[in-house]
Structure 1
Amino acid sequence: MDIKHLRYATALAQELNFARAAEKLHLSQPALSRAIQSLEAQLGFLLFDRDKRNVATTTAGEAFLQQAKGILFQMRTLELNMAQLRDGSGGHVAFGAGPSPTNSLLQATLARLRRQHPGIALRVDSNNWRYLLLHLRAEDIEFFVADTREIGAQHDLVIMPLCRQPGGFFCRAQHPLLERAHYSPADLLEYGFVGNSMPAPVQAGLKTFLGLSTAQPLPIALQCDNFTLLKEQTLSDDLILLAPRASLVHELAAGRLRELRFGGTESLFTDIDIVHLQGRTLSPSARSVVDALRETVAHQPAEFIQARS
């Protein structure tokens, strides 16, 4: 059954006049008449009673046209949805975000997406990279954005660089260290640290910076992937927070947290990448999310976030 014939029949049912319906459809009247006759022959019953002056729907025609209108509505909805999927302005996207990008990139990215593509429905899993990798391979999410230094190159993954986030040491504004005229990295050890999980190379570099031997453990009092909890603990204690600056923009601007600056902290950074499965093309809607992430990165000060490619 030709979908065009359904459109012709519903137009004729609305107008109940071949001439007006043909004009509305931009067809000649004989062409419309032939199309209706063809549809009736295919169905095996008349849709319309007509004479020289009048057109009226038959009882069978009424039943058919009611269902035809539903089909045409579904077709229009399908066409609209597919157009949105094609240009990345609609559809559903499930993706993951590690602790650092959740805290430093997602709010601005989601706001950007709502402005640019309000038709996209999102589901975001915020967790550590191990959890996200499991869910990516299970195809519960389409991609994730996280620190990937512990993942490395793997045959089933595509890893696309996004940004680098310089890190440092941070404390509350009333911290005893800030009352000293001078302080050194070794002075941090007496207070202990809070932070999220760190790759082994970062831990090794941190030990060297603090003057610890490889056998000595880092004095980490609290380790978790929830930056809100880490910040609250730092604000209520004398612990030192190890974190990317980009995760603390508001607290630093408000003066609630202060950075303890030292030379030689260039190795303290987080590299954020976008990861998806090899052989799985990102949907247009997912590409819109990735584009929004890159736009967010591009608009951040280099002190906090530096784009990578």
Structure 2
Amino acid sequence: MNDLRQLRHFVALAEHGHFARAAEAVHLSQPALSRSIQALESSLGCNLVDRHSRGISLTAHGELVLEHARRLLAGSRALSNAVSQLGNLSSGELRLGAGPYPAARLVPQALGQFAGRHPRVRVQLLIDNWQQLRSRLLNDEIELFIADTREFHDDPQLQVTALQSHHGVLFCRPQHPLCQRQPLSPGDLNEFPLAGTQMPVEVDRLLQRLGDGENPLSIQCDNFMVLKELVSTSDVLSLAPWDVVAADVQAGRLVTLRLAGDPALARSAYGIVSRAGHSLSPAAEQLQQIICAQDGQTKPA
């Protein structure tokens, strides 16, 4: 049976799409990489790639093997981490994800504490929307993630640890024209672009009600720091859980807007998500404890 080195070589080839670039990435000569791929194909009894002048493309067998190879390699990394971290957390790595809003406050604060306690553990943080994070978790690319979890409560593949909820706010720059027209009607909001991250169904429906039945988002971006910069330098509006804009509002960099009738904007539904039935590495367990302790110290809004 093939070994993990051949699988690593094959994944590199699939990702780079070219033998020369893949060989450089895995520190092999091109002939050596070609022999490794041929040996893998021989052991599996199928062709994995079609070779052509522009590089390579995966066959149907290659697509299948790529999916399993990534999972096997991720499992191998997880095993190495668990063994190396057992007892002292003096080495290894931690791969985690975060949604745009937790990545703006809660996760950086927790990672700061974690790095201070375990400076030799390498941390890789991926910021994405909750749908992509779920896929990466189930593909063993990350161990856990912190994001909006309201779509996950009935998912049998996931273990969800709920965190504190914060009310949603609509915000803009202090000099925005709407600051002088409060309370605002839906018609007032429709005069200016609205930016936000990918929204859960519950929040999307609320936005549709505010936008007269249509989704009012003009700009979608899953990087909340970009959204804040956009809002602070233009007449674009945005919305977010209070905890991620509180410091900016208190410092006068942003202001919140009040809607007519004072409708309640959807609250956040942060949670820590991991795979059901799978134990976490010592590093992931330690980070989860830090997040929960820090979240407990935050006054909910």
Question: What's the TM-score, normalizing by structure 1?
Answer: 0.64
Equivalent residue, structure 1, for 2:218: 221
Task: Select 1:274's aligned residue among 265, 272, 275.
Answer: 272
- Given the alignment of the two structures, is residue 115 of structure 1 paired with residue 116 of structure 2, yes or no? yes
- Given the alignment of the two structures, is residue 95 of structure 1 paired with residue 91 of structure 2, yes or no? no
Alpha-carbon spacing, 1:87–1:153, altered in 2? closer, same or farther (3 Å): farther
- Given the alignment of the two structures, is residue 254 of structure 1 paired with residue 251 of structure 2, yes or no? yes
Alpha-carbon spacing, 1:211–1:279, altered in 2? closer, same or farther (3 Å): closer
- Given the alignment of the two structures, is residue 155 of structure 1 paired with residue 152 of structure 2, yes or no? no
8 Å CA contact retained: 1:87, 1:285 = no
8 Å CA contact retained: 1:177, 1:183 = no
Shift of 1:82: 6.0
Structure 1 stretches lacking a partner, 5+ long: 1-80, 304-309
Alpha-carbon spacing, 1:211–1:193, altered in 2? closer, same or farther (3 Å): closer
8 Å CA contact retained: 1:88, 1:288 = no
More strand by share: 1
Structure 2 stretches lacking a partner, 5+ long: 1-81
Shift of 1:260: 0.9
Q: Is the radius of gyration larger for structure 1 or structure 2? A: 1
Shift of 1:163: 2.5
Equivalent residue, structure 1, for 2:237: 240
Alpha-carbon spacing, 1:279–1:105, altered in 2? closer, same or farther (3 Å): same
The alignment-based identity, stated in percent, is 33
8 Å CA contact retained: 1:96, 1:127 = yes
- Say which SS state the counterpart of residue 285 (structure 1) adopts: helix
Equivalent residue, structure 2, for 1:64: none
- Say which SS state the counterpart of residue 160 (structure 2) adopts: strand
Equivalent residue, structure 2, for 1:200: 201
Shift of 1:211: 6.8
8 Å CA contact retained: 2:146, 2:273 = yes
CA distance in 2, matches of 1:295, 1:280: 22
Shift of 1:166: 1.8
Shift of 1:88: 5.1
Tell me the amino acid that sits aligned with residue 130 of structure 2: W
Question: What's the TM-score, normalizing by structure 2?
Answer: 0.66
CA distance in 2, matches of 1:267, 1:183: 14
Task: State the Cα RMSD in Å.
Answer: 2.3
